[in-house]
Amino acid sequence: MIRGVLPVLHTPLLADETIDRESLEREIDWCYELGADGICGAMVSEVLRLTYEERLELTRLMSEVSDGRGAVIASVGAESTKQALAFARHAEEVGCDAVMAIPPVTTALPESALWDYFSALAEQCSLPLIVQDASSYVGNAISIDFYRRLLEQYGAEKIRFKPEASPIGPNLSALRDATDGLALIYDGSGGILLVDAYRRGISGTMPGVDLLDGIIALWNALRSGDEEAVYRVYFPICAIVALQLQAGLDGFLAIEKYLLVKRGIFASEQRCTPHAWSLDEETKAEVDRLFDLLTQAL
């Protein structure tokens, strides 16, 4: 069952920017200790900045270290269908439970080419395919009609969705309604829109790992209908994610890795270089204050 809280792993790196396996193992173990339902690779895993070999290594380690404790979802989106299929077949070989793909981002594809790309993944990989619109970071939005046609062609068990085009909430509802509630939809807002998305009928959420204890507490409060607990936990999460949003993908990565070091899970804040933004002292001080508020709320 690919449902519930499915955190997107951050890729821990050594000083030479190779994968830090020891920190990755701590990260995955911590996810399951908190009650995560699985783990994912995606944009904040820095997949677009890893080498081909490193992407394969990350997928293999995710499956190996997870060791059946939850669903493992590999990121396979690439700039060509050939590349994406290579990543997808590798995910099958190492025992992943699903694949997730963004469209190519270096060109604005017409829908006919986009259809060829996603249908090749659906037909040539046996795993469920989560179609990710990562247009909040990169690329162009995917239309609701395109999603609907994919679902009609391949069915809800094969095709799932992680729509991130703005406005996210109304688009979630539009996809739900256009598919008569059949679409399995995952939130990818980092937690800042999770309450709204949950009330629109999502199947799961794919946040970063840095605030995972808060996200799981929030998810459980939503499931139990504990409105007081929902907003007590939700507000500091929102405030932290708002700081991350100001610098796009690099904003998320800088603050998320800072918090994972602060928690003792990562040995280093090392990111793939180059990057456009780093955490300044004043932002860091505000993150610390908000993190303390989240800790108190939990």
pLDDT band at 125 (very low <50, low <70, confident <90, very high): very high
Q: Across residues 126-137, what is the average pLDDT?
A: 85
pLDDT in tens, 157-212: 999 999 988 899 999 999 999 999 999 999 988 999 999 999 999 999 999 999 99
H or E stretch covering 73: strand 71-75
236 φ/ψ angles, rounded to the nearest 5 degrees: -65, -30
Q: How many Å apart are CA 290 and CA 239, to the nearest integer? A: 7
- From the list 175, 120, 173, 179, the residue with the least C-alpha distance to 142 is 175
pLDDT band at 141 (very low <50, low <70, confident <90, very high): confident
Q: Across residues 57-66, what is the average pLDDT?
A: 98
Annotated binding-site residues read 206
Cα end-to-end span (Å), the chain: 27
| Position 38 pLDDT exceeds 70 | yes
* CB proximity list for 143: less than 8 A, separation 6 or greater: 111
| Position 138 pLDDT exceeds 90 | no
Q: How many Å apart are CA 6 and CA 9, to the nearest integer? A: 9
Tokens of 269: 């804040």
The mean predicted confidence, pLDDT, of the chain is: 95
| Position 234 pLDDT exceeds 90 | yes
- From the list 44, 121, 138, 129, the residue with the least C-alpha distance to 84 is 121
CATH number corresponding to 4-226 = 3.20.20.70
| Position 81 pLDDT exceeds 90 | yes
- Asked if 164 and 138 touch (Cβ cutoff 8 Å), the reply is no
Task: Please tell me the predicted confidence (pLDDT) of residue 1.
Answer: 81
Q: How many Å apart are CA 279 and CA 255, to the nearest integer? A: 7
Annotated binding-site residues for pyruvate read 206
Q: What is the Cα gyration radius of the chain?
A: 18
